[in-house]
Structure 1
Amino acid sequence: MKKFIYYPNLEPPNTEWLKFSILYMEKFESIVPYDRRHLISDEYNRLLNETDLVEMYSPEYMQSERATIKSIEEAQKFLQNPYGRGPLMNRINIERSWRTERNWTYQIFTEKFSPQFSEFCESERIGIRNGQGLMLPKELAFIFMTHLAQEISYERNGSIITDSVEFDNYSNFSRVYNPGVRNRNKFMKGIINLLVPANISEISFDRLIEFRNRNREHISAFNNQISLLEDSIGNGITEREFINSFNQVYSELTREIILMGIGLASIPFATYMLINNPQALTAEYTKEILGAIGISAAGTYAIKRALFDTRERRLCKKYFTNVERLK
């Protein structure tokens, strides 16, 4: 399973984003140094302790070093061309904004950067050290956290995700996101949004945590089906079309059986029961049923694959039903 590294904050401040994540994400990690874990909210700690959704990652020394070097290089480009690059951060003159002390509102903790970064920021008068680390303009802090998240995700074969849309123009310009991952998450959120009958902000964390833990296998099936259709997502399939496709949950299995030349009338009753109860798909039971059908080794693979795919589809469709009941 691919790792997702969340940034720029210790935890998502956007409650709605987090609630949606409970319903469709497998797992993500947020960047929280060991000595800062006491700053995490009670709700986030509940997700950490009561679900498998979130983990915390403490950055390593060389990750912070590389993020520092890249952030300094990027900051210099903004300072050298403040009018040209300012619009990427929704500023007319980003140099003037960064050098205005009242704009130094974002805390970057000491454990995340090397001393070279604090020296650079103070020498350029775009930030100031305090007892916790550095106070920076939020745009500069976002640049640094983007590079730190990228360094972590690269080493851990992951992708970066954020709930921040304020600096999308810069993120798109810098190509910091994997477009496929971003489109996938947006698509999954859209599906959940269509299915949830209530405003998700009105659903309590208690209810969502209980729902996630009860439907964990269904969430995995949902993700698996999304993975199978990622090309279709890129080519414009809508969330509603994706949902409607599961109305034909048995059709693929039927097609596989027909392609193998097995008449539907010749399928044993035990196989019919298996189709309607994929959870019973144990190795021993499958072997017995396939033996009763009497098909070749190649046919065995085809039918087993069809049964597996149908089970995934059934679980995904069941998840849609469960989400629609969520209040």
Structure 2
Amino acid sequence: MKKFLYYPNFEPPNNTWLKFSLLYLDNFESIIPYNRQHLITDEYREIHDKTDLVDFFSPEYQHGETASFNAINEAKRILRQTYESSFLFNRINIARDWRNKDSWDYQIFGEKFSYSWVQFCEDEEIGKQNNDGILLPRSLAFLYMTHLAKEIANDRNSNIITDNLDYDRYTSYSKVNPTNVRVKNKFIQGIIKLQVPKNLNDIPFKKLIEFRNKNRELITVFNSEIDSAEEMIGNGLSEQQFIDNYNKSLTEITKEVIKLGIDSATIPLGFYTLAQNSDALNQDYIKEILTGLSIIGGGYYGIRKALTDTRQERLCKKYLTRLNQL
């Protein structure tokens, strides 16, 4: 699985997005220059130090050079074709917005761009250099950071992810956050909302960190099962249907037992222990329990296959259950 690269900020300004990430994302990187890492919040530092969710990536010189070149070319085109391009930022006249000095309130640090970007912005009067780098209008800063993220992601074979919905049209146009990734993330968040009984904002980070570390393997399985269902998600599978599917995860095992003509009332507790214990799928243990059922020949191997095929499903069901206990 590709690692995600988060942008445009050092860290998500919205705690809700970050809390969701603790419950389902395998891992993502934040673009933070080495000598700016002291600027992150204590909570974000704790997540970095105590979980495997977040890594920090410091951009290299060539990333800023290429991103500056590409951003200049795109900004020039937008300034020339203001009225045709403004809809990408949900505005009527984006050039006028960029040249409004009162809007220059987003800081991009100097480690992220080349001097050509500063020179261009000052020549066009759409930004101003300062001691830390450059101040820009928020939408122009997002444009630049999109190009920086694309360059880093291409270099590191990463997928790009953002929590910024204000410029969703621009991210779609730039093809940095593919539709299937956006749909899948929204789908997963919908599942979590259905399963977590409390408002996620009411659950402290400390508890979510403990939960993630305790259920790390299950999060990986959960993502794997989501990937397997991706085509169905695109065809309209609902979050509740996905949950219901994993509440029936023993169906295939039950079918195999029925095929053998065994009355379910006679099946000992050991079989159900085996069916629900994902760590018990070793051949000797299965034989021991199934021998007690007088299961031999093809019937044994049929149940063995059903147990193996549904291991991922049982682990996914286990994770959904644990989410429900948060």
What's the TM-score once normalised by structure 2's chain length? Answer: 0.89
Using the alignment, how far apart are the partners of 2:186 and 2:261 within structure 1?
40
Corresponding residue number in structure 1 for 2:15 = 15
Residues 55-204 of structure 1: pairs in structure 2 closer than 5 A = 55-204=55-204
What is the Cα deviation at residue 92 of structure 1?
Answer: 1.5
Corresponding residue number in structure 1 for 2:277 = 277
What is the Cα deviation at residue 265 of structure 1?
Answer: 4.3
What is the Cα deviation at residue 273 of structure 1?
Answer: 5.2
The answer as to whether partners of 2:108 and 2:135 remain within 8 angstroms in 1 is yes
| Percent of residue pairs bearing the same amino acid type | 50
Corresponding residue number in structure 2 for 1:238 = 238
Which stretch of structure 1 is more off in the superposition, 286-295 or 212-221? 286-295
- Deviation string 1:198-238 (CA, Å, 9 cap, x unpaired) is 11111111111111111112211211110110000010000
SS of equivalent to 2:279: helix
| Aligned with residue 260 of structure 2, among 254, 259, 263 | 263
Assess, with a 3 A threshold, how the Cα gap between structure 1 residues 75 and 206 changes in structure 2: closer, same or farther: same
Using the alignment, how far apart are the partners of 2:239 and 2:35 within structure 1?
42
Residues 244-323 of structure 1: pairs in structure 2 closer than 5 A = 244-254=244-254, 257=256, 263=260, 265=262, 274-282=274-282, 293-294=296-297, 306-323=306-323
Give, as a single letter, the amino acid of the residue that structure 2 aligns with 1:224.
S
SS of equivalent to 1:279: coil
Corresponding residue number in structure 2 for 1:53 = 53
Which stretch of structure 1 is more off in the superposition, 65-74 or 225-234? 65-74
- Deviation string 1:257-282 (CA, Å, 9 cap, x unpaired) is 58xx973649x988765333221224
What is the Cα deviation at residue 58 of structure 1?
Answer: 0.9
Using the alignment, how far apart are the partners of 1:228 and 1:115 within structure 2?
46
What's the TM-score once normalised by structure 1's chain length? Answer: 0.89
The answer as to whether partners of 2:276 and 2:314 remain within 8 angstroms in 1 is no
SS of equivalent to 2:70: helix
Assess, with a 3 A threshold, how the Cα gap between structure 1 residues 127 and 312 changes in structure 2: closer, same or farther: same
Using the alignment, how far apart are the partners of 2:2 and 2:87 within structure 1?
33
Which stretch of structure 1 is more off in the superposition, 185-194 or 145-154? 145-154
SS of equivalent to 1:166: coil
The answer as to whether partners of 2:221 and 2:312 remain within 8 angstroms in 1 is yes
Which stretch of structure 1 is more off in the superposition, 74-83 or 61-70? 61-70
Using the alignment, how far apart are the partners of 2:303 and 2:68 within structure 1?
54
Give, as a single letter, the amino acid of the residue that structure 2 aligns with 1:99.
R
- Deviation string 1:291-326 (CA, Å, 9 cap, x unpaired) is 985559xx97x8766434422211211111111121
The CA RMSD over aligned residues, in Å, is: 2.6
Q: How many residues are paired up?
A: 320
Give, as a single letter, the amino acid of the residue that structure 2 aligns with 1:323.
L
Query: Is 2:33 the counterpart of 1:33?
Result: yes
Using the alignment, how far apart are the partners of 2:43 and 2:283 within structure 1?
41
The answer as to whether partners of 1:3 and 1:153 remain within 8 angstroms in 2 is no
What is the Cα deviation at residue 175 of structure 1?
Answer: 2.4
Assess, with a 3 A threshold, how the Cα gap between structure 1 residues 226 and 317 changes in structure 2: closer, same or farther: same
What is the Cα deviation at residue 176 of structure 1?
Answer: 2.3
